[in-house]
Amino acid sequence: MPQLSPRVQALVQPHLRDLDVYDPNFTPTRINLSANENTYDVPPAARAAIDEALAATHTNRYPDPLSNELRDELAAWHGTDRAHVIVGNGGDELLYNFLLAFGGPGRTLAICPPTFSEYAFFASLTQTDVAEVWRDPETMLADDDALVDAAGKANLIILTSPNNPTGDLAPVALVRRLCEACPGLVMVDEAYGEFAAPGSSCESLLDAYDNLVVLHTLSKAFALAGARCGYVLAAPDVVEALAAVRQLYSVNVLTQAAALTAVRLRDEFAPTVATIVSERARVLAALRELARTRELTVWPSEGNFLLVRVPGASEVRRRLRDEFSILVRDFSYAPGLADCLRVTVGTPEENDAVLAALGELLPAAGPSDSLQALS
């Protein structure tokens, strides 16, 4: 990754000197399964209603800073009230604000890597120390007791359920233990929660634990990644702190109108979520079948993506892109994810294309032949 120029390194705050220059490394492809988006897009009936709402939205006035109509709708859906909900410009803004409000120098955030890289990034921006409780390198599962121990010593802990990129859930019983152990706040990031088995959300614990914070996004199940809207469910005083640090107008009028319409019409989104869940099972089974003759590991997932390990993953990713015009995410560089690719579950056609391409690219023989076959 390129670094900031020496001149600017001397000018930025000392803790920001080693920041990478942002490079999304994005290549337009026929099939993009690299960012865990919802490749089905918004269902037509909901899209028509959103278009109508957008057409009726005036852009000459500032937005309602707190998106109160949307908060009310989200609160009604989740069986709570507005005071327990805050909306942000994507889950990312809320994660940043969480670290801004509750982290900082001398504070520690516990995380469970491999996990979503933004937690450590926002911790570094806010000078929050990070305590890493690593997953088992083979099963990718968390060590519950080690997490409870870390939670007891941390100011904040973030668990992801389902976890990106490993796909596993944080059991509700574990989150309960973390809420009891942690003197500060426990965030459960349920960005992919709608794709998980019913009953896996930690929301049921919110009444019992005022230190629990649950993060959601409309980027995944609601196919609104481009609109940038996320929300947090938490105790009213935690919501107040997140409201106090936020940029006043970060959620624009068009996003508020689109998100409100989508959430009102939430039942319209259920069929695509169900299709993604069944496609996930089909792709997992097909990859397991492929693993009988190829060197390939795949982990089960409760999200809209699957993590696979293949020899020469970076080269496989490059060939998928250049020869098949299919983009997947390469995690080879990331600690704990050597030779791992993350593949978003797409439409049946997209999934068939990636399965067929992997079948062609991965050598059918043992590991000693793999480099040869890939070259």
Q: Which of 67, 160, 166, 252 binds ligand PMP (CB under 6 A)?
A: 160
Span of 84-92, 241-249, 316-324, 350-358 interacting with ligand PMP by CB under 6 A: 84-92
Q: Which of 126, 164, 255, 344 binds ligand PMP (CB under 6 A)?
A: 164
Which residue number is nearest to ligand PMP in terms of Cβ? Answer: 90
> Which of residues 231 and 324 has its CB atom nearest to ligand PMP in the complex?
231
Burial (CB count <10 Å: 0-12, 13-18, 19+), residue 179: buried
Order of all β-strands in the sheet with 305-309: 31-33, 326-330, 340-344, 305-309, 297-298
Restricting to residues 230-259, name those near ligand PMP by CB under 6 A. 230
Q: Residue 47: how many CA atoms within 13 Å on its side-chain side? A: 7
- Comparing CA positions, the residue from 216, 203, 209 lying closest to residue 235 is 209
Shortest CB 87 distance to ligand PMP, Å: 11
Write out the two tokens for 187. Answer: 């965030």
Size of the site for ligand PMP (CB under 6 A): 13
219 binds ligand PMP (CB under 6 A): yes
Q: What is the dihedral sign for C-alpha 244, 247, 249, 254? A: negative
Span of 14-22, 217-225, 268-276, 315-323 interacting with ligand PMP by CB under 6 A: 217-225
> Which of residues 67 and 160 has its CB atom nearest to ligand PMP in the complex?
160
Interacting residues of 202 by C-beta distance below 8 A, sequence separation 6+: 161, 170, 172, 175, 188, 190, 212, 214
Q: Which of 191, 223, 307, 358 binds ligand PMP (CB under 6 A)?
A: 191
36 binds ligand PMP (CB under 6 A): yes
Write out the two tokens for 299. Answer: 């982990």
54 binds ligand PMP (CB under 6 A): no
Q: Which residue is listed with tokens 């959103």?
A: 50
327 binds ligand PMP (CB under 6 A): no
- Comparing CA positions, the residue from 199, 190, 266, 272 lying closest to residue 231 is 190
116 binds ligand PMP (CB under 6 A): yes
CA angle 268, 347, 357 (to 5 degrees): 170
90 binds ligand PMP (CB under 6 A): yes
- Where along the sequence are the contacts to ligand PMP (CB under 6 A)? 36, 90-92, 116, 160, 164, 189, 191, 217, 219, 225, 230
